[in-house]
Amino acid sequence: MSVQTWTYLLVGITFALYIGIAIWSRAGSTKEFYVAGGGVSPWANGMATAADWMSAASFISMAGIIAFAGYDGSVYLMGWTGGYVLLALLLAPYLRKFGKFTVPDFIGDRYYSNTARMVAVFCALIVSFTYVAGQMRGVGVVFSRFLQVDINTGVIIGMVIVLFYAVLGGMKGITYTQVAQYCVLIFAFMVPAIFISFQMTGNPIPQLGMGATFNDGSGTFLLDRLNGLSTELGFDEYTDGSKSVIDVFAITLALMVGTAGLPHVIVRFFTVKRVKDARKSAGIALLLIAILYTTAPAISVFSKINLIDTVSNRTYSEMPLWFKNWEDTGLLGFDDKNQDGIIQYLADPNLNELTVDNDIMVLANPEIANLPAWVIALVAAGGLAAALSTAAGLLLVISASVSHDLIKKILMPNISEKGELWTARAAATMAVVVAGYFGINPPGFVAAVVALAFGLAAASFFPAIVLGIFYKKMNKEGAIGGMVVGIGLMLFYMAKFKLGWLGEIPDKSEWWFGISPEGFGTVAMIVNFIVALTINRFTPEPPTRVQEIVEHIRIPSGAGDPVDH
């Protein structure tokens, strides 16, 4: 069968599975809609958290950005994995013991203020919509190549699917759908990696294959070969970095603390019965996430070597079918500047004739390596599983922020449970439409867009959550001031240096402190802390009851007991 037939078959089967699970586990109450009834097992929650966490950025874009950035791309590996450890150890158990539905719910109650809740709702919406834009673009990229439809149509198809199971099943449906999606995405990521590692080195373990020698008898190590190819084409050595130390540090820290402040990941720890289950599911998720994250650098090396070997200094007429198929999507391009019909892939932009979008490397990798059609189609199904699982989690955060935190807690406190459930579903529907717009008109490639979402989460939520848990005298005035200044500063920096909303995008030399927009969340977070603690010092202490609550959530005794919402 052809790649397209296999893709229709595998994508169709997986979509039918997701829809079937959503129908089976549809939510009948707000508790089921928001936190899956609070009775999910640690293993199921661990798998769902891993799928929620490993978005299109992890599956589609991360290995691609490492393939082109080389050593510099390691900031994504360090930041995202380190951040999950930070979340699992530092925040998740305490937030679970507090026992609320959402991050704005925690902030509103901890800081005894509807104003704090409103600011948190605004931050959650900004973070979630920025993040979901990357997911919907990932969906569009997969559909455009493998199902031969344009990116916009692919985004719309993804919208319809995610709308169905997110609106019908809520967190309950999303949780069990994400368990299935984790199985699909990790199988789809690992199978081609194992194939190619064995093909290139004779070692079926990709993590070991990356550091092995070619199996052609030359004794050349893969990384040495890639360094040689890179320098021949005028690029820096793959294993050398070009980013400044301060920017590497800032991006890594922004991704770490942004992870610990992501509302769609935090809410997963409210779906288990006990505090100890939250800890256990966090550990399980970290183990499951590590499988993909330790494999991504290997895939980046395999794909870059195969790409250079396949296209550099080859005639356009002899390019295989995959090259022309990706050209049709607009994500791969050949501009024959010297009209000789030979593809020149060079570092010099005046001489380079090949443009490759970072987001295609993982998806095109099995095709470049000439793997079987079913493996190529499997990767497409895995990319969709990664993008849709995270999109669903984000849409639920948006829905809960509007229906629970805004309408139930502030505007209409007497609304019935049935009314709140309908409001939640209506909010999710509107969120899908907005997410689709951002998917059709994205502000950058997937990993870059997602990195900005992490910066926003770092700038807004992380200080408020950490101070809310570990500093009982932190008051509402400080928390509100810190969040407003932090997210405002991050939005300004994004608008000026990334999105071009304030005129022409300035050169890198004008970055503040030499820090890129992806890393500026670190600066905004520090400013948030400073503003919050300064205001806190000159304003009244929080009420005694709030301080007692903070003391209670930090006490480990009784951690095995269920906590009622």
Ordered by start, the domain boundaries in the chain are: 3-22+31-553
Query: Which range scores top for mean pLDDT: 165-179, 191-205, 309-323?
Result: 191-205
Please give the residue that has the higher pLDDT: either 459 or 40: 459
Query: For residue 531, what pLDDT band results from cuts at 50, 70 and 90?
Result: very high
State pLDDT tens for residues 8-64: 888 888 888 877 887 776 666 666 666 555 567 888 888 888 887 777 778 887 888
CA distances from 334 to 148, 288, 509 (A): 20, 39, 30
Cβ atoms 441, 156 nearer than 8 A? no
Burial 400-434 (b: 16+ CB within 10 A, else e): bbbbbbbbbbeeeeeeeeeebbebbbebbeebbeb
Alpha carbons 22 and 43: distance in angstroms, whole number: 19
Report the amino acid identity of residue 314: R
Does pLDDT of 493 surpass 60? Answer: yes
**What pLDDT, on the 0 to 100 scale, is given for residue 565?**
43
CA distance 471 to 278: 22
Please say whether the beta carbons of 48 and 179 come within 8 A.
yes
State the virtual CA torsion across 489, 123, 394, 433 in degrees, nearest 10: -90
**Picking from 37-41, 156-160, 180-184, 283-287, which range would have the lowest pLDDT averaged per residue?**
37-41
- pLDDT at position 69: 83
Q: Would you place residue 423 in the very low, low, confident or very high pLDDT band (cuts 50, 70, 90)?
A: confident
- Residue with more model confidence, 174 or 461: 461
Q: Is the pLDDT of residue 239 over 50?
A: yes
The kind and range of the H/E element at 243 are none
Predicted pLDDT at 39: 67
Task: Specify the CATH number for 3-22+31-553; select among 1.10.10.10, 1.20.1730.10, 2.60.120.10, 3.40.50.10140.
Answer: 1.20.1730.10
Helix ranges (H only) for 314-372 are 321-329, 361-368
Three-state secondary structure string covering 15-55? HHHHHHHHHHCCCCCHHHHHHHHHCECHHHHHHHHHHHHCC
Q: Tell me which amino acid residue 370 is.
A: N
Q: How far is CA 293 from the centre of its chain?
A: 13
**Which DSSP letter does residue 357 get?**
-
524 or 102, which is more confident? 524
Give the lowest-confidence range in 176-190, 301-315, 442-456. Answer: 442-456
Averaged pLDDT, 316-331? 84
User: Comparing 333-342, 396-405, 439-448, which segment has the lowest mean pLDDT?
Assistant: 439-448
Q: CA–CA distance from 458 to each of 254, 260, 329, 521 (Å)?
A: 6, 8, 34, 6
- Name the 3-class secondary structure at 473: coil
Quick one: pLDDT at residue 564? 45
What distance in Å separates the CA atoms of residue 270 and residue 92, rounded to the nearest whole number? 9
Q: Minimum mean pLDDT among 109-118, 361-370, 550-559: which range?
A: 550-559
473: left (phi over 0), alpha (psi -120 to 50) or beta: alpha
Mean pLDDT calculated for residue range 447-455: 70
Which amino acid, residue 151? I
CB 480 within 8 A of CB 119: yes
pLDDT in tens, 104-134: 888 988 999 889 999 998 888 888 877 777 7
Residue 448 has pLDDT above 60, yes or no: no
Least confident of 240-254, 385-399, 546-560: 546-560
Q: Which residue has the higher pLDDT, 46 or 241?
A: 46
Given a contact cutoff of 8 angstroms between Cβ atoms, the answer to whether 542 and 472 are in contact is yes
Residue 196: pLDDT band with limits 50, 70, 90: very high
**What's the confidence (pLDDT) of residue 368?**
87
Q: Does the pLDDT of residue 538 top 90, yes or no?
A: yes
Question: Which of 489, 320, 396, 408 lies closest to 167, judged by CA?
Answer: 396
User: How many C-beta atoms lie closer than 10 Å to residue 347's C-beta?
Assistant: 12
Q: What is the pLDDT of residue 14?
A: 85
**Which band of pLDDT confidence, cut at 50, 70 and 90, is reported for residue 544?**
very high
Q: Is the pLDDT of residue 563 over 50?
A: no
**The pLDDT value given to residue 339:** 85
Task: Examine the pLDDT at 558 and tell me if it is beyond 80.
Answer: no
Distances (CA, A) of 227 to 173, 203, 351: 47, 21, 20
What pTM, to 2 d.p., does this model score?
A: 0.82
Select from 424, 278, 299 the least CA-distant residue to 361. 299
* Residue 110 structure tokens: 């901890």
Find the mean pLDDT for residues 252-265. 83
pLDDT at 65: 85
What was the pLDDT predicted at 424? Answer: 79
pLDDT at residue 560 tops 50: no
pLDDT mean across residues, the chain: 83
User: Among 16-30, 192-206, 211-225, 319-333, whose mean pLDDT is lowest?
Assistant: 16-30
User: Which tokens sit at 39?
Assistant: 């009775």
User: How far is 396 from 269, CA to CA, in rounded Å?
Assistant: 14
Lowest mean pLDDT among 221-235, 383-397, 491-505: 383-397
Least confident stretch, 135-144, 225-234, 251-260: 135-144
Which residue reads 């719910």 in tokens? 105
Most confident of 90-99, 230-239, 466-475: 466-475
Q: What is the reported pLDDT for 147?
A: 72
Contacts of 228 (CB under 8 A, 6+ apart): none
Query: 355 has which bridge partners?
Result: 333
> Count of CB atoms within 10 A of residue 563's CB?
18
